[in-house]
Structure 1
């Protein structure tokens, strides 16, 4: 098994459990609705964070954006459960993607609050978004491979 950030091996995709794990007594369909609602709320929070950019409130933007991303990731607990989410997040194929994403999330929050540097916050949010996309692509069969091929073709066409 390959181990690392750029691994294409997908041994555990983190699919919906077999019903042995129940979240607050919700059945499968209710959990899917809860996942969708929680994910959408997280995305809306992240999108609304851009309103803080209009007022140049960098800490507000970074905090709301990061909270939105966390809510979106936590939405997965409705589908696969907390134990399996933690197991899949730190599986060898996702270990570095998860570690880098969580580190960037913390750095974005900390540096945006303490330094209040607009350019640095924007760069950190962009890199955090890229890490989130790379992490999410690990759950899609050959998702990372598609990203590599897309950017590889972009680079060769320049």
Structure 2
């Protein structure tokens, strides 16, 4: 089974690794090294925001804003590597369009609950759903990961995700 998966993804992975940074040449004037640095800085800033949000956990609205901003920075950092067009194509690929839509929906919902509604309970619920949606979205990039998680939940909880 592993050999079949490797053969399915081998050609595509080699091409995408070779062309990952070259395809963004028309996107901006940043060099490959500058794009790698921008990716690292943006990812690090996102992670820092998510960790800082834990400090203000007692204030759910600030927590939701920092955590969501960190999420968006971390997910958006890959745009520096592959370009906005390719990032959007991958996000809205038929394999992960539902996971992407649900994730974006909960990001927006968390911001609405925090900024407009000012409800601590709704904000916490929205952030928890955002975390679950981000995990499911992230699993869509790992071959067979969502299928394995579904099988495990069927065995453990007698329900499918």
Deviations 1:35-93 (A, max 9, x none): 23321220110121122223x2x221111111101101111112211100011111111
Query: Which structure has the larger Rg over C-alpha atoms?
Result: 2
Which of 91, 94, 97 matches 2:96?
94
Which of 62, 70, 73 matches 1:71?
73
Counterparts of 1:113 and 1:84 in 2: how far apart (Å)? Answer: 31
Query: Structure 1: any 5+ residue segments left out of the alignment?
Result: 1-9
TM-score using structure 2 length:
0.76
Partner of 1:26: 31
Residues 64 and 123 of structure 2 are in contact (CA less than 8 Å); yes or no, is this contact kept in structure 1? yes
Which of 42, 48, 51 matches 1:47?
51
If asked which structure has higher relative contact order (CA below 8 Å, sep 6+), I would say: 1
Which of 133, 146, 149 matches 2:148?
146
Distance 1:152 1:36, change over 3 A: farther
CA shift at 1:30, angstroms? 4.7
Higher helix share: 2
CA shift at 1:130, angstroms? 0.7
Partner of 2:118: 116
Residues 39 and 75 of structure 1 are in contact (CA less than 8 Å); yes or no, is this contact kept in structure 2? yes
Counterparts of 1:146 and 1:24 in 2: how far apart (Å)? Answer: 41
CA shift at 1:33, angstroms? 4.1
The root-mean-square deviation of aligned C-alpha atoms, in Å, is 2.3
Counterparts of 1:129 and 1:106 in 2: how far apart (Å)? Answer: 13
CA shift at 1:21, angstroms? 1.6
Distance 1:37 1:150, change over 3 A: farther
Residues 113 and 126 of structure 2 are in contact (CA less than 8 Å); yes or no, is this contact kept in structure 1? no
